[in-house]
Amino acid sequence: GAVVSQHPSRVICKSGTSVKIECRSLDFQATTMFWYRQFPKQSLMLMATSNEGSKATYEQGVEKDKFLINHASLTLSTLTVTSAHPEDSSFYICSARALAVAYEQYFGPGTRLTVT
């Protein structure tokens, strides 16, 4: 089956620094990837939609200058949390929409970000 990986799985960074999270579709091409955020004991909330070769579309309330998304290829999207603060600590999950296979989308395993 289709596999989506995320790297790193866990990251701890100091307040004020930036951290980059990668989302890769390993065995299929994905024109679209989605980034979700999940706070502890809460549901997943869509942050942004990432389309290969174009600017990401952000959901209302998500700061585009803080959460930089780059979808440079059909298999890679990156989320960079800039000037991270403790309130950015969360579980970040990406999903990738396949070009073929009836527009299925597949979820990555998530990245746990802790900002100290």
Q: CA 101 from chain center: how many Å?
A: 22
Footprint (CB under 8 A) of another protein, residues 73-112 = 93, 95, 97-98, 102-105, 107-110, 112
* Dihedrals phi, psi of 86, to nearest 5 degrees: -55, -30
Closer residue to another protein in complex, CB, 36/88: 36
Distance CA 26, CA 37 (A): 22
Footprint (CB under 8 A) of another protein, residues 20-39 = 32, 34
Q: Which region, left, alpha or beta, applies to residue 31 given φ > 0 means left and ψ of -120 to 50 means alpha?
A: alpha
Among the listed residues 7, 20, 22, 46, the single contact to another protein using CB under 8 A:
46
Among the listed residues 11, 45, 62, 68, the single contact to another protein using CB under 8 A:
45
Closest CA relative to residue 94, chosen from 52, 43, 44:
44
Among the listed residues 7, 13, 22, 44, the single contact to another protein using CB under 8 A:
44
Q: CA 93 from chain center: how many Å?
A: 6
Please give the residue ranges that form the binding site for another protein (CB under 8 A). Answer: 6, 32, 34, 42-46, 49, 93, 95, 97-98, 102-105, 107-110, 112
